Structure 1
Amino acid sequence: MTELQAERRLEQALSVVDVSDGAPSGERIAAILYQLLLEVVQRHHPEIAPVLSGETVLQNAAPEVLSRVFQAHGIWFQLLSIVEQDAAMGERRRTERELGEQAVPGTFANVIAKAAKLGVPAADIAEKLGRTRVRPVITAHPTEAKRVTVLEKHRRIYRLLVELEQPRWTGRERSGIIDQLRDEIELLWMTGELRLEKPSVEQEIAWGLHFFHETLFEGVPELLKKFDRALKRFYPSENFALTQFFQFGSWIGGDRDGNPFVTNKVTRRALRENAKASLRFYEQRLFNLMKSLSISERALPPPSGFREALNRALSDSGDGAGIALRNPGEPYRQFLYCAHAKVKATLALYEGERTPGPHYISADDLISDLAVTEQALAESGSVGLAQDLVRPVRFAVEAFRFRTQRLDLRENTTKLTSTLQALWRAMHTEADGEPPAVESDEWKAWILAELARPRIGPPVYRALPPEAEETLGMFKLARDRDEEFDREAFGSFVLSMTRSAADVLGAYLLAKEADLYHDATRVEACTLSITPLFETITDLRAAPQIMRELLSLPLVRRSARMQGGVQEVMIGYSDSNKDGGFLSSNWELAKAQDKLAKIGAEAGIPISFFHGRGGSVSRGGAPTAQAIAAQPAGSIQGRLRVTEQGEVVSFKYANRGTAAFQMEMLGSSVFEHTLTLERAAPALRAEFEEAMEALSGASHAAYANFINHPDLLTYFQSASPLDEISMLNIGSRPARRFGARTLSDLRAIPWVFAWAQNRHVITGWYGVGSGIASFLDVRKERGLTLLKRMFAESDLFRMIVGEVEKTLGMVDLDIAREYAGLVYDDDVRETIFGMIEAEYRLTRANILKITGEEEIAQRFPAYRSRLETRLKTINKVNREQVELLRNFRASTNELSKEAFKSNLLLSINCISSGLGATG
């Protein structure tokens, strides 16, 4: 294609951008971006433009040409995703314009309107609002294959698309926006896709805070405003007390489970960076507010209470006369000047500097100053200014305080046990021998005895080894929070690989050694929330008994009551799926939640759940509203924490409109679930439970037979880019927790990532077909009738079937067979691939029996269209990747091996961009 042809195609694309009847369609915008990309490619590498446009097929290309082809395809997938986000936002806006905000699913207006229509009393709304707590937790799990600099360019492209859709522009101005889009795409083309080095934890901290600066600092206060507006509209005679129910958490810099690069020094730095991010935001907002509120006291005399507060602020500032002189007759500006100066001084402290004048001791003091300003304006008659200008800033400080996000600490039981054993040795002499076996009653008895023993002053035992001292130092860092950081700087301590009550009690003991108890003798209650994490199927089944035992202990009960009256439990989707398969994992998670919720109710200590979800379906990444609706009745009760990992963070929070909707959908879904706790009749629920138990058991058996096959690891390593994925510098954490080379030790993320790359995608469907087949073999037509009824009436079963359908759409057995060709052992290849092929066909056939459809995922036309748009290109890249894997593994020449490696990693990036997820 010549440059002239490219220009003509662009002109044709531009000619359809007519916004006189509303925003241009997603297809039109996609056509524009495609032509702009084609133009950029034509200018820089004309030889690959025909490949991108589909006019020629790539054959025997040189490595440098192939790398550019992968880059072009990858950029196109990224641009498509941006268009789809923009189009979805446009569709929501059109619905709101035509039918009203209450007609948009996922909004507070939609939920509150339905509640009002059903006659839900205002008192019920108020009671549930008072205990609603929603906390997304951003993690640095290595599933984000895009660099931050690329994300920033995506953000600018999104904003330019929003501008392009505005009807006010002239043709000349619209052409200018098109030019800017072309420039951003060209910059994207010339920006390296791959990280040359693994990111440090410090870089991951900056990556996480990037989203607050771009969208979340502004978005969270707006979220509260939307909820307030919905309540006032549908319950106009009521006055609800809004609380900061939506706050963010983080694992970045605090999650040391299997990551040797997260140290106490790094955690301390993360806390400081979190604090500085929020303070910089307040500094700017207060400066803007100070500029805006140039209110003369002659035009609007302030109330006497505000005048007293101003006099105190001027007196405390050390420069009261100077401030009054700079802002004569403008009391609000004077007051905000004092607040702004105190925020700057507070920020300087976190930056290691000290400035003259007072600083804020606590975020509560800044909240108080903003409340004083807001109240004064309202009392003086300027309610609009109070609500529109001051209240959003107060809401922001209430949400983010001096910490931006609550940082969780996480470590596994292996490390904690090692530290406890070191503690035992330090307390005993060599003559006492070695510590009791960890699984023994003697070990638990020792922990319980130490927890009950009053402890005043510093320890009197011998020094601990450096590694144990580092682990204990993590708890000591949490102890120092009130002296150095915001009182809410930390969230909880998450204990990975929890297998027993003794494991959890060991964490309580280390907290005691770090003086994290509220009483002087350190026996009453722990001030740090200890959250056990149950990950595998075995762990989930053991969780109810473990929590029953823990909640029977006065120490745990007192601690839970002091920490808000609830006991948090984290459940893992990734490892339970890797351990038991998709259907069994979802059922075991639902059962565990149901049992744990009942145990909490019996103990008088409600259990709240922290959901360890990933981005892909097999790691719990179902659509937000659907996933929450499918949770067992009574398991949420207004409280939900959920991890937001890797590419999910950039997908949800990189753009302002998308971020606003994603947060509102999460918050409204939790509130709606809480309003409708009992949705199923007990008899109907029992019948469904019995069927799910049978389905899960048979599915788990088939899946276990597959993953326990002695040749599976050999097949998996050869027929996928499992080992090569580790060369992608997409996270600071190693792929294996302890460095071993076994399937059981492999983390869930690379497990899912590699099965997606080779188009087997077994993590989202394997075992489901066998489970259904076994059920129907026993129950015949009666069983099929029941499954169809469950599909219609059970949120959980319908979600499982739907996500299996979507996953099956990504499977391509022809391409999978080409990956299988990388396995040199014929018997291994034919055996394992034969199992996969048979289970795939069984799953596909049985899913269609239940849905009654002719095609898989027929009821998801938008998803099918999105996938089909990409699959033709993804398939080509998959086939190129097979050859790259073969050549890379066979190459002995370092120069050629490096060339193959670069293209191989680009192919991994390209496929993950096309599929929309990595792990």
Structure 2
Amino acid sequence: MDARFEVPAPLRADVRLLGELLGTVLKEYGGQALLDDVERLRELTIAAHDDDPERADHAAAASEALVSSWDIERADNVARAFTCYFHLTNLAEEYHRVRALRAYDTGEAPVRDSIAAALGEVTAQYGEEEALSLLSGLEFRPVLTAHPTEARRRAVASAIRRISNLLTERDDSRLGVTEHAENERRLLEQIDVLWRTSQIRVTKPGPLDEVRTAMTVFDDTLFQVLPSVYRALDDKIAGEAAGTLPPRVPAFVRLGSWIGGDRDGNPFVTAAFTQKAMSIQADHVLRALERVCERLGRALTVDAETTPPGPGVRRILADARAAFPDLAEDVATRSPGEPHRQVLLLAARKLSATRQRDADFAYASSSELLAELRVVQGSLAGAGARRQAYGELQHLIWQVETFGFHLAELEVRQHSKVHARALAEVRAGGDLSPETEEVLAVFRVMAQIQQRFGPDAARRYIVSFTQSCDDLAAVFELAERALDGRPLALDVVPLFETEDDLRASIGILDEALALEPVQRRLAENDRRFEVMLGYSDSAKDAGPLSATLALYEAQAAIANWADRNSLRLTLFHGRGGALGRGGGPANRAVLAQAPGSVSGRFKLTEQGEVIFARYGDPTIARRHIEQVAAATLLASTPTVEKRTANAAEKFAGIAATMDAAARSAYHGLVRSDGFAEWFARVTPVEELGQLPIGSRPARRGLALSSLEDLRAIPWVFAWTQARVNLTGWYGVGAGLEAVGDLDALREAYAQWPLFTVTIDNVEMSLAKTDARIARGYLELGGRPELSAQVLEEHRRTTEWVLKVAGHERLLEGRRVLGRAVELRNPYVDALSYLQLRAFRALRTENLSDGEAERLRRLVLLTVNGVAAGLQNTG
């Protein structure tokens, strides 16, 4: 294969080392014959990407023949080998990315796409006062969701992390020969564990398993990373006075979570689970804050003579002596003459009491802890200990401001039809069904959570498939009936998902403003209003290009509506990891938003494998947060808003032409007679429903008789597994061809951010598609006309995207991504051939129950490998 994308030497060395160690493990497990089979398939799939079509076709045919010659046990082992290889390659690439990011940060100038660079750009255009004003209102709200797109088991992820840590250790130049050899032995040991660990979960995770999995991101990265992000920017602003001035940077990140709160179509998420989810979150953050208070308290040994305490510190200690004399005396004895230290050590004890629900000594709220910390900070600064006041103590203050005592704002989501049924029952009187009782119980749990942790802990209620103002009014009425007038801060957030719903949004929002509970909330919350936009169902409904354009139009219209009504709008973007669900680089997406739709605030869902890809490593998490925050800052400036608005107006005609043609092409496929049944035959969507990777069912109905029954995630996941990736590109070629004017399209690509991002994302999706392998899946449907339609649109889209981007080959302009995709695809092919072999037999042969079960297991095993290889699932 022509290595058109150069691999950096350190990355090449890491991949070679891990590959050789995996080879050793395979030979120890299955002998030389197993390793030989893996190597033979690897060589053939690489040859199948040769530039000579004849040689490539011959190698592809030989790959299929080799795979078909193996028994099921050998096929299983080879599939596991390639899956393990992808896990190892992924961690090597992740570590090289960390290595590159560290090398990139030279300190000579702000790092590109960082918040400091964005702030510098805004300052240069508008002055320091305007830039800092914009910064003061900055908000980034990532919301973790438990959608089943993380195909790895937690045990597998843990093994991968241990191997990653050992790989990082090897980069330490201080290691001696003996230590290097020991590191390699431990690497072999952990790769052997990875190989021997089942890639497939035995049971589906429950909602609480998903909560605990998400907590690892908080524990391992976010708790420490966020204050370091704030600190880096604050130091840039302060310059030489860094660490001696009150902070100018607000804690602008607020974490949200649907895990344990999203009950739309998930019968396993009950009110009891929601309460348990919040208890788990609170336990994690309270333990973390307690550890920091204890650590800082032990280190803050400034005494009263050098650093006399202010009256606030003396009052806190006097109150403690009066209320808890034994405890206050114990702390004072351990820290004599160190009043600031005593306050922090007492705070650690009070956090422990808060966690253990000891009401006598617990904090009433996180704001009470914040008040004490600010008293300590003010006292230190007043005594001249400014570095103590604005150093580590400020990190703790930022952590409390960011996470509170609840860690993440737990958001509830439910389908509008569920509310309608519940309200009808409640109004009718009489006995209530279990479903309605459960709906009412949720509001009671939200009230209990707010009572303990404050309104921000659980005040958002998202209404899926909002199609009228009645859908929003129903939630307020149900809450009132559930609570009998007891207080509940409730922000009901409409979720517009289908294209029709997006177009009807303004009328619904106008009516919503007239609702008395909405007017009351606007008066309480400084006229803040939130609207959620669904990327998944709109794309499934209209196709990727038409959905993108419809979402942009909806954003622009809602932003104008909010401006007319003097509202502080937050648009909540329900983006997935895959391109068919609004995926792609988040920072570039922010800069392509409609004018006025950002206004310093950006909120989005972070789903499945995306959570760990973006937040699993501290360096990568910091870079992602910086990039999104920087883009949010820039997107809120008049310059960017004007440029975006002018481009949208200039290319409106092109957009309309593309929209009509792309929509027609997409509907021409998905609305064909029998399409849903054909889709179920040509993709492993039915098998994916059996894969225990998430607590939520894959579809709302019992059988796949129409696409409306199917959730957007398995819709995308299934096409990805079949190497068609249809959801990321279908109809785009038809839209571009309908315009036909290449010069005009290239001008739009150069000047219109939305179009640029769309074409780049489509190009990425096409690069992860393989028409040769896809053809094998499509042939199983017995509908050659539909197969031909898909393949022709793939050819047309590839041709036009390359012409518009001015590229000879896919991803030509994106060196790092292009290298990763080009080098991975042959190895993904190996797993696809194994999956296709099992898939063909399941679809076309009469099999015994035992044979069918073994083949389904092979399909599920390869699903994990393909997901790891493509790094996109749903």
TM-score with structure 2 setting the length: 0.92
Task: State the Cα distance separating 1:612 from its structure 2 match.
Answer: 0.3
Q: Secondary structure at the match of 1:134?
A: strand
Does 643-652 or 338-347 show the bigger shift? 338-347
Match of 2:414 among 411, 415, 428: 411
After superposition, give the CA deviation of every residue in 1:103-122 in whole Å (9 maximum; x if it has no partner): x223112212222333x222
Maintained 8 Å contact 1:258/1:738? no
Match of 1:48 among 34, 37, 41: 34
1:50-65 equivalences under 5 Å are 50-53=36-39, 54=42, 58-59=66-67, 60-65=69-74
After superposition, give the CA deviation of every residue in 1:643-671 in whole Å (9 maximum; x if it has no partner): 00000011111112111212222222212
Q: Which runs of 5+ in 2 are unaligned?
A: 1-7, 45-62
2:177 counterpart residue number: 171
Count of residue correspondences: 838
The 1:850–1:55 alpha-carbon spacing in structure 2 relative to 1, beyond 3 Å, is closer
Question: Residues of 1 paired with 2:155 and 2:389: CA distance?
Answer: 38
Q: Which runs of 5+ in 1 are unaligned?
A: 1-22, 427-461, 520-525, 777-782
Does residue 784 (structure 1) correspond to residue 742 (structure 2)? The answer is yes
Question: Residues of 2 paired with 1:204 and 1:527: CA distance?
Answer: 27
2:59 counterpart residue number: none
1:531 counterpart residue number: 493
2:767 counterpart residue number: 809
Match of 2:105 among 92, 96, 117: 96
1:18 counterpart residue number: none
Task: State the Cα distance separating 1:51 from its structure 2 match.
Answer: 3.3
1:850 counterpart residue number: 804
1:8-87 equivalences under 5 Å are 25-46=10-31, 47-53=33-39, 54=42, 58-59=66-67, 60-87=69-96
Does 205-214 or 482-491 show the bigger shift? 482-491
Does residue 734 (structure 1) correspond to residue 697 (structure 2)? The answer is yes
Maintained 8 Å contact 1:615/1:621? yes
Match of 1:592 among 541, 554, 572: 554
Maintained 8 Å contact 1:306/1:372? yes
Task: State the Cα distance separating 1:396 from its structure 2 match.
Answer: 0.9
Does residue 400 (structure 1) correspond to residue 403 (structure 2)? The answer is yes
What amino acid does structure 2 have at the position aligned with 1:268?
Answer: Q
2:675 counterpart residue number: 712
Task: State the Cα distance separating 1:794 from its structure 2 match.
Answer: 0.6
After superposition, give the CA deviation of every residue in 1:337-367 in whole Å (9 maximum; x if it has no partner): 2111111111111xxxx48x51111111111
Match of 2:462 among 494, 500, 507: 494
Match of 1:272 among 267, 279, 293: 279
After superposition, give the CA deviation of every residue in 1:481-509 in whole Å (9 maximum; x if it has no partner): 33333432114100001111121122222
Maintained 8 Å contact 1:155/1:654? no
Maintained 8 Å contact 1:38/1:49? yes
2:196 counterpart residue number: 190
Does 486-495 or 296-305 show the bigger shift? 296-305
The 1:749–1:366 alpha-carbon spacing in structure 2 relative to 1, beyond 3 Å, is same
What amino acid does structure 2 have at the position aligned with 1:792?
Answer: A
1:512 counterpart residue number: 480
The 1:101–1:509 alpha-carbon spacing in structure 2 relative to 1, beyond 3 Å, is farther
Question: Residues of 1 paired with 2:483 and 2:527: CA distance?
Answer: 21
After superposition, give the CA deviation of every residue in 1:34-62 in whole Å (9 maximum; x if it has no partner): 22222222222223222344468754223
Task: State the Cα distance separating 1:517 from its structure 2 match.
Answer: 7.2
Match of 1:604 among 566, 576, 585: 566
Maintained 8 Å contact 1:571/1:611? yes
1:324-339 equivalences under 5 Å are 324-339=332-347
1:100-139 equivalences under 5 Å are 100-102=108-110, 104-118=111-125, 120-139=126-145
Maintained 8 Å contact 1:126/1:240? no
Q: Secondary structure at the match of 1:569?
A: strand
Does residue 229 (structure 1) correspond to residue 235 (structure 2)? The answer is yes
Task: State the Cα distance separating 1:677 from its structure 2 match.
Answer: 4.4
What amino acid does structure 2 have at the position aligned with 1:899?
Answer: R
Question: Residues of 2 paired with 1:516 and 1:135: CA distance?
Answer: 32
The 1:101–1:83 alpha-carbon spacing in structure 2 relative to 1, beyond 3 Å, is farther
Q: Secondary structure at the match of 1:207?
A: helix
Maintained 8 Å contact 2:281/2:406? yes
1:256-335 equivalences under 5 Å are 256-319=263-326, 320-335=328-343
1:10 counterpart residue number: none
Task: State the Cα distance separating 1:709 from its structure 2 match.
Answer: 0.4
Maintained 8 Å contact 1:314/1:335? no
Match of 1:540 among 502, 518, 521: 502
Q: Secondary structure at the match of 2:571?
A: strand
Q: Secondary structure at the match of 2:143?
A: strand
2:788 counterpart residue number: 834
The 1:174–1:317 alpha-carbon spacing in structure 2 relative to 1, beyond 3 Å, is farther
Question: Residues of 1 paired with 2:816 and 2:120: CA distance?
Answer: 27
Task: State the Cα distance separating 1:803 from its structure 2 match.
Answer: 1.0
1:456 counterpart residue number: none
Task: State the Cα distance separating 1:291 from its structure 2 match.
Answer: 2.2
Q: Secondary structure at the match of 1:533?
A: strand
Task: State the Cα distance separating 1:463 from its structure 2 match.
Answer: 4.9
After superposition, give the CA deviation of every residue in 1:663-713 in whole Å (9 maximum; x if it has no partner): 222222212212344232765532212321221121111101110001212
Q: Secondary structure at the match of 2:873?
A: coil
Maintained 8 Å contact 2:473/2:515? no
Task: State the Cα distance separating 1:638 from its structure 2 match.
Answer: 0.9
The 1:144–1:464 alpha-carbon spacing in structure 2 relative to 1, beyond 3 Å, is same
Q: Secondary structure at the match of 1:532?
A: strand
1:895 counterpart residue number: 850
Q: Secondary structure at the match of 1:262?
A: coil
Q: Secondary structure at the match of 2:641?
A: coil
Question: Residues of 2 paired with 1:110 and 1:39: CA distance?
Answer: 47
The 1:684–1:69 alpha-carbon spacing in structure 2 relative to 1, beyond 3 Å, is closer
TM-score with structure 1 setting the length: 0.88
Match of 1:678 among 623, 641, 650: 641
After superposition, give the CA deviation of every residue in 1:128-154 in whole Å (9 maximum; x if it has no partner): 223222110000001110112222222
CA RMSD, 1 decimal: 2.3
The 1:105–1:475 alpha-carbon spacing in structure 2 relative to 1, beyond 3 Å, is same
Question: Residues of 2 paired with 1:516 and 1:815: CA distance?
Answer: 60
2:205 counterpart residue number: 199
Question: Residues of 2 paired with 1:564 and 1:514: CA distance?
Answer: 27
Does residue 660 (structure 1) correspond to residue 614 (structure 2)? The answer is no
Does residue 214 (structure 1) correspond to residue 229 (structure 2)? The answer is no
Aligned-residue identity in percent: 31
1:902-917 equivalences under 5 Å are 902-917=857-872
Question: Residues of 2 paired with 1:564 and 1:189: CA distance?
Answer: 55
Match of 1:372 among 358, 370, 375: 375
Question: Residues of 1 paired with 2:155 and 2:431: CA distance?
Answer: 46
Question: Residues of 2 paired with 1:466 and 1:714: CA distance?
Answer: 34
Match of 1:690 among 632, 653, 667: 653
Q: Secondary structure at the match of 2:455?
A: coil
